[in-house]
Amino acid sequence: MNVRRINLSSDLTLLPLTLGHVLLTAAAFPSLGIRWVVAWPVLWLLAAAMCFLQSMRFGRFVLPCAAAASLIPAVIRYKCFSYLIYDFFTALQLSTGHIYLAEKPQGSLWPLWIFFAVSGAALQSRAAYRSSVLWLVPLLMPVLEGSVIGVLPVGAGTAALVIGMLLLCSQRGSDLRASVQRSVAVLLCAALTAGCGALLRDAPQQKAVQGIRSAAHALAYDRRTNSMPEGQLGRLSAWHKNETPAIRLTMESPTALYLRGAVYETYTGDAWQPLSAAARDAYGELFSWLHSENFYGQTAVYSNLSAQNALKPQKITVQNISACKAHGYLPYGAGEIEQLDETLIGDAKFPAVESFQCIPTDPDTLYAASQRAAADSDSVLSRMEGSFAAYAQNVDLAVPQEAADALAAAFGSPQMRSKTQILTSIRTFLHKNITYDESVETRVKTDFVRETLEQGRGYSVHYATAAVLLLRMCGIPARYVEGYHLTASEAQKVPAGEPVVLTEANAHAWAEYYLDGVGFVPFEVTPGYDQSDETDGETPGSAGSRKALRNPVGAPAPVPDPVPVEIPRQQESHISPLWLLLLLPLLAALWILFRRLRLRRMLQKLDGGDERERILGLYAYACALQKICPVKVNGSEEALRLYREAKFSDHAMTTEHRASMRAYCDAVSAACLRRWNLPQRIYYRYLRGVL
């Protein structure tokens, strides 16, 4: 009857374990085409059968036979592992936004099905038979790694594995306290796994994630002061100019310059954030082709201008003194840069490059280059630029509904006008409706742009944010940029070839828009700064991208249709589950503090009272330590005799007797420490609180 109960308990434990195995395998390797409704019962029956066979006389042969049955077919048909490689790199590209292209595999899938089914069933059956979580480590390690790097979802599969592990912990032995402690450890590891996986994914809607990322970013990169908000608009403070040296800039021919640092593409209502890796994933093949032809969005302006022999480039040196170290700082005309990341999808990240060539991007040069590109739409460079323009058209036009409603009510409905007319009307509108004020503070309750228009005051961050969204409403791809700006008046005072130091007073935020045939160029709307983007003529075409290059010829595949960029909704009264991750270190610290205080109180009691009570308490403490860690020390017989004398006789106990028992207790503690390894010392000292 007892054996039947144990078998039934093991079979029930296998239910969540096999479910988690099936769900995680299906999520990690979609090429296998696993249907969990069918695979779960099959795997459970197989694991239950293996668990039963291990209780028989030949049970020691079950695991070796299962290993051979799972590995031999997969080794013979080793090409089947190409499916796993393809799925892994596909998930990696989706989670990181970098190019990991792999060829579509072909071949049989049945060796992989056998491999996952038999190996998983063998490990789970062994874990259930032995009631030991250690046998699940080969399954748990890939789950942990996959969750952290973002290639595995933290969802039902992970929850099922955690439930199965808790059932295993509850079955092992009859010690309730040990079972509870093991269960707490499992839950702690599960929470850390889920929290790390969610933190390293794109989860812009989570306020806790934003705070943690901002704090970690500031700790790692912002060594001194950074006067720009780095896209965080929810609690925007006044702009405090300071003269902290940030960038040392050297130019052969000093001119007005925008140094782009951080580029943000997704507006959430209270923040600017980089475009998510999932949104960029659809353009992996496009950027693989562009980069193979040495066309990069970061240097598109340089490529287009140098191909037209517009101006002679000059050498520029940019040295980072105290600015944010998370990215480099490049002007719009920068080129001939070897450190560009060929695996990056998109162009919103700049490498930390100190020396490069640069073509000045004055308004007349940009306008003339745009005209020449429109007249020569059949060149290879023009086709590549058109492909990049289509990408910008797809991803850089999203406006949240609340911001769109507020801007439409104040600005009016966009009309089909020339791009120059749109730029002029946007600048006029912002100068009329927003007064430049560096002392303004904004606390977002609904939407940053809406509240900016209501308060009617702001500085470069407010102007740039509103300008980007207005450009997008008018059909012009635009992005929000933070960096440093050298004005024309400041450049005139710099001798040729001499370095100039840009301080945090030069920190600035501005909008940039896509100019057909050229690339992204700055759009200045903040009063008091150079209007370096104004042109005297009309840029070719209407507000949108060039129709002739909307689906360019020459790309390896048609550019995907516009994909919706998900704009996260505001979290109002819902508590994020990631707050649990923030509470875990606090709870762990409180637990350690509680155990240490309890031990201290117990030791204080041993020092109180008369000598007899002290001796009895010290011996009881030594016995408790020996129960946890059986050790033999000198003086145990004398300590036992002294304990019996204090317990059962009326003899007077002296200070010497208590000192002798204290020495014996200290010897037991020292012996335990010598016998324990480092993890055991940490466990018994801090988690158990026995030393």
Question: Looking at residues 663-675, what average pLDDT do you find?
Answer: 88
Quote the pLDDT of residue 559.
Answer: 40
Residue 1, pLDDT > 50, answer no
Task: Give the amino acid at 447.
Answer: D
In this structure, the strands spanning 245-251 and 499-503 are: antiparallel
Quote the pLDDT of residue 381.
Answer: 83
Task: Give the amino acid at 489.
Answer: S
Residue 563, pLDDT > 50, answer no
Question: Regarding predicted confidence, which is higher, 511 or 53?
Answer: 511
> Per the structure block, which two tokens stand in for 219?
């700790």
Question: Regarding predicted confidence, which is higher, 202 or 529?
Answer: 529
Is residue 635 left, alpha or beta, with left meaning phi > 0 and alpha meaning psi from -120 to 50? left
Phi, psi torsion values for 89, nearest 5 degrees? -70, -30
Question: Regarding predicted confidence, which is higher, 104 or 546?
Answer: 104
- Whose tokens are 């998900």? That residue is 566
Cβ-contact 520, 282 below 8 angstroms: no
Most confident option among 8-12, 344-348, 479-483, 617-621: 479-483
Quote the pLDDT of residue 363.
Answer: 76
Quote the pLDDT of residue 619.
Answer: 87
User: Strand pairing partners for 436?
Assistant: 458
574: pLDDT confidence band, cut at 50, 70 and 90? Answer: very low
pTM for the full predicted model? 0.64
Question: Looking at residues 89-112, what average pLDDT do you find?
Answer: 73
In angstroms, the Cα distances linking 400 to 233, 270, 367, 397 are: 15, 11, 31, 10
pLDDT in tens, 330-373: 999 898 888 888 888 888 888 888 899 998 787 777 888 888 87
Quote the pLDDT of residue 534.
Answer: 47
- Those residues whose C-beta lies under 8 Å from the C-beta of residue 552, and which sit 6 or more positions away, are 383, 384, 386, 387, 390, 559
Question: Looking at residues 416-423, what average pLDDT do you find?
Answer: 78
Phi, psi torsion values for 634, nearest 5 degrees? -70, 145
3-state per-residue secondary structure call for 440-490:
CCEECCCCHHHHHHHHCEECHHHHHHHHHHHHHHCCCCEEEEEEEEECHHH
Residue 3, pLDDT > 90, answer no
Cβ-contact 479, 396 below 8 angstroms: yes
Interatomic CA distance for residues 549 and 382, integer angstroms:
9
Question: Looking at residues 617-633, what average pLDDT do you find?
Answer: 86
Quote the pLDDT of residue 144.
Answer: 65
Residue 175, pLDDT > 90, answer no
Residue 517, pLDDT > 50, answer yes
pLDDT in tens, 241-297: 888 898 999 998 888 899 999 999 999 998 999 988 888 888 888 898 898 888 999
Least confident of 131-135, 177-181, 404-408, 562-566: 562-566
Question: Looking at residues 35-54, what average pLDDT do you find?
Answer: 85
Quote the pLDDT of residue 584.
Answer: 60
Quote the pLDDT of residue 73.
Answer: 80
* Percent of the chain with pLDDT strictly greater than 70: 77
Most confident option among 20-29, 97-106, 463-472, 543-552: 463-472
Quote the pLDDT of residue 205.
Answer: 39
Quote the pLDDT of residue 554.
Answer: 37
Question: Regarding predicted confidence, which is higher, 371 or 231?
Answer: 231
Question: Regarding predicted confidence, which is higher, 217 or 348?
Answer: 348
